[in-house]
Structure 1
């Protein structure tokens, strides 16, 4: 048996281990970057939705319709009696 032959597989294994570790570190870094980006965008969307809700409430107040139900609440109220009529 030649000692040189046993060193090559060990070196190859060590090289592969280093390669895989570097690859995993790069992947982790990319996933972290993507995760941070997604969280930032979700936070921005949340802020925009809050601003939109405030603008809608301001418009409703200006129009004097603050106390009237929203269209979705009105349509739900219309659907509920229909469902009650069907079940009766």
Structure 2
């Protein structure tokens, strides 16, 4: 496991650096791609909602929620498929 990595982001015209673990950077990029938005755009929307929370922490929480919702959606789909097969 690698240590945290620092990357620069541009939020509404201002450069800032964020330090996240590589796994969070990967998931954050996947999240942006899934939403068809640029990484900076997604970071800016998280920044706008975060209040007093550190940006890196806010990104981690958003990524975690996104992954959980994706998992829940997949579980729902699997359950519905099992239910459908049970009715056949």
> Could you tell me the TM-score, scaled by structure 1's length?
0.40
> Could you tell me the TM-score, scaled by structure 2's length?
0.40
Richer in helix (by share):
1
Report 1 or 2 for greater relative contact order, CA contacts < 8 Å, sequence distance ≥ 6.
2
